[in-house]
A and B are shown apart, each in its own frame.
Chain A
Amino acid sequence: MKKRASIIGGAAAIAATFVVFVIPFIFIVLMAFKDRQQSALRDFSWPTGFHLWENVFEVVKTRNWMMITAFINSSIITVVSVTLLVIFAAMVGYVLARRRTRWNGLIEFLILAGLMVPPAVVPTIWLLQGLKLFGTLHGMILVEVAYNLPFSIILYRAFVSTIPRDLDEAAIIDGARPLDVFFRVVLPLLWPVTVTNIVVQSVGIFNDFTNPLYYLPGNANATVQLTLYNFQSQFSTAYNLLFTNILLITIPPLLVFLFFNRQIVAGMTAGAVKG
């Protein structure tokens, strides 16, 4: 009986996953194959012709090859932000977990506040303008780093305490300076969390729609999510192109996820000390 129940439960879970995640994706793919007329019906029908290549070419070419600029911009923002996030969050997490001072409580409160208090858009724009960073890629990168830092720190902090302090001390005795201890001993051992961070944050930042919308105006600054607006207007929407666009910009996060998901391995510290 128990076995049968678990089979039914498993089948139900698979079915639910299929409905929630796979069917919408199939819908996107099908829409990308259709021509404009058929796609306007917005139904779950088989494409009447093979229009994928036309659609892709049309999407990439639109508004003076805006898609290419957008991919470049988004890639720069994602790669730089995630790199900075990993390094800074790991550093803060390491120091917070290792060094006990009376300021720890306050610092932890501030990190939690950063997670809970909603970002204020207008003051941020005012500040960015004051710093001459408004509408620039590096300004956008700083905003992404600031918004996502608390979450990354919390991830790292919990993991640092699983790395035995003896390792730090052994490295110090071996002649490591503080930065050597961090970059050569601690950071490599944080790899499992680093992978988690890379996956979560790069998908989040690459798919970010609202922040680039507020802080990064202008055609030259477009990011991939903003290209979705190219095919949507008040009176007419080219659904085949819109869904081709969605398909194109879904591919990079999907690749990141597939590539790093295999690397999330626990137990990196096995063998460091007597277990």
Chain B
Amino acid sequence: MAGLELKQLRKNYGKVEVIKGIDLTIEHGEFVVFVGPSGCGKSTLLRMIAGLEDISGGELRIGDKVVNAVEPRDRGIAMVFQSYALYPHMTVYDNVGFGLKLARTPKEVRDQKIREAARILQMEHLLDRKPSQLSGGQRQRVAIGRAIVRQPEVFLFDEPLSNLDAALRVDMRMEISKLHNDLGATMIYVTHDQVEAMTLADKIVVLDGGVVQQVGAPIELYQRPANLFVAGFIGSPKMNFVSVSADSVSGDIATVSGPDVVGVPVTLPSRKVAPGDKLTLGVRPHDLVVAASGSIVGRVGLVERLGNETIVNLELPSGASWLAVLEGDQALKRGESLALDVDPAKALLFDDAGQAIPR
């Protein structure tokens, strides 16, 4: 049983601070995904957990042991690299069994474990090959097999699917998910692909600039992003933003207006805004609907008709560009004016510091 606990974890290279004090608790058996744009420190954080980077400050616990100064081999972890990192001079069998060989596991036990891992990953027929004779997907399987035989408490994945083609990525994603169910081990997964994050994770950690922006279940992050960064990062296409100010607050409804929108109602039971407050309104492209009397009016730009939905580029009066994903096929012409409405319960408000205003 091994959960992880990160307390004020820090990393700096000289004077540059890359990880700026991260607090995080990961329960045993959880599938946690670190997402963020490139350079946000997610891979560095993973490598710190693996023991490949020194920890500059703070405390890292795996299970109930502080492992800051513990060698990677004694941390009870296994890691799958983006580049697979298979040993090219060894067969698949030896690649998978390398860790066991180093640990001086008896030959019969080793053989049994290697074959078991090969069976789980359905690669028994590949055991005698060299990595150069394998396809990308097969190499990734071998890399995962090498992790499995170590029977680690914690699996670490560093963007394992980013070198695979789209179809294979979907397959491997399901396989990793299945593996998590079967093994019940804690898994930490780094990716910049939010689809992977949304589909795999029990818990997503959104990182930016070496700081945790939000931790939560995928749907929670989608529906209740903590700030503008998370709102913009999670969800595809990106959320639309526009600056507004509050007109009035009555009952559960706050009404906001701005240069581009007039009188948009937003459900806000907490009533944490006062008339006149400077705010940012966030609306997901999927939450916009066509309405003749709509409060958001723009000029139609590029229209992408996909049959089941229509993606419209909209230019607002101030020149801001919005996206709307409309149900069904809509025959819209470039240049015509389009009025849209939004469900008050789905619109989000952010204060001028970029933090979401709780409902």
Residues on A lying within 8 angstroms of B by beta carbon are 164, 166-167, 169-176, 180, 184-185, 188-189, 191, 268-274
Residues on B with beta carbons closer than 8 Å to the beta carbon of A268: 88-89
Q: Is the CB of B81 within 8 A of A272?
A: no
Chain A binding site: helix, strand, loop or mixed by DSSP?
Answer: helix
Residues on B with beta carbons closer than 8 Å to the beta carbon of A167: 85, 87
B98: interface (CB < 8 Å): yes
Q: Is the CB of A188 within 8 A of B85?
A: no
* Interface-located stretch among B126-134, B182-190, B259-267: B126-134
Closest to B102 in A: A175
Known: A166-B83, A167-B87, A273-B85. A173 touches B131 (CB 8 A): no
Closest to A272 in B: B88
Within 8 A of A (CB), among B71-117: 72-73, 77-79, 81, 83-89, 98-99, 102-103
B209: interface (CB < 8 Å): no
Known: A172-B73, A173-B79. A271 touches B133 (CB 8 A): yes
Known: A188-B89, A270-B132, A271-B130. A174 touches B99 (CB 8 A): yes
B254: interface (CB < 8 Å): no
30 CB-based A-B contacts, threshold 8 Å:
A164-B83, A164-B85, A167-B87, A169-B79, A171-B98, A172-B51, A172-B52, A172-B72, A173-B50, A173-B52, A173-B73, A173-B77, A173-B78, A173-B79, A174-B99, A174-B146, A175-B99, A175-B102, A176-B73, A180-B102, A191-B89, A268-B89, A270-B88, A271-B88, A271-B133, A271-B134, A272-B83, A272-B84, A272-B85, A272-B131
Residues on A with beta carbons closer than 8 Å to the beta carbon of B87: 167, 170-171, 185, 272
Q: Is the CB of B52 within 8 A of A174?
A: no
User: B163 touches which one: A164, A188, A189, A274 (CB < 8 A)?
Assistant: A274
User: B98 touches which one: A174, A189, A274 (CB < 8 A)?
Assistant: A174
* CA–CA, A176 and B103, complex, Å: 9
How close is B37's CB to chain A, nearest CB, in angstroms? 22
Total B residues in contact with A, Cβ cutoff 8 Å? 30
* CA–CA, A268 and B131, complex, Å: 11
Closest to A191 in B: B89
Residues on B with beta carbons closer than 8 Å to the beta carbon of A171: 87, 98
Residues on A with beta carbons closer than 8 Å to the beta carbon of B98: 171, 174, 176, 184
How close is B322's CB to chain A, nearest CB, in angstroms? 38
Q: Is the CB of A271 within 8 A of B132?
A: yes
How close is A268's CB to chain B, nearest CB, in angstroms? 6
Residues on A with beta carbons closer than 8 Å to the beta carbon of B79: 169-170, 173
How close is B97's CB to chain A, nearest CB, in angstroms? 10
* CA–CA, A184 and B87, complex, Å: 10
B141: interface (CB < 8 Å): no
* CA–CA, A108 and B141, complex, Å: 41
B136: interface (CB < 8 Å): yes
Residues on B with beta carbons closer than 8 Å to the beta carbon of A274: 83-84, 136, 139, 163
B150: interface (CB < 8 Å): yes
Residues on A with beta carbons closer than 8 Å to the beta carbon of B132: 270-271
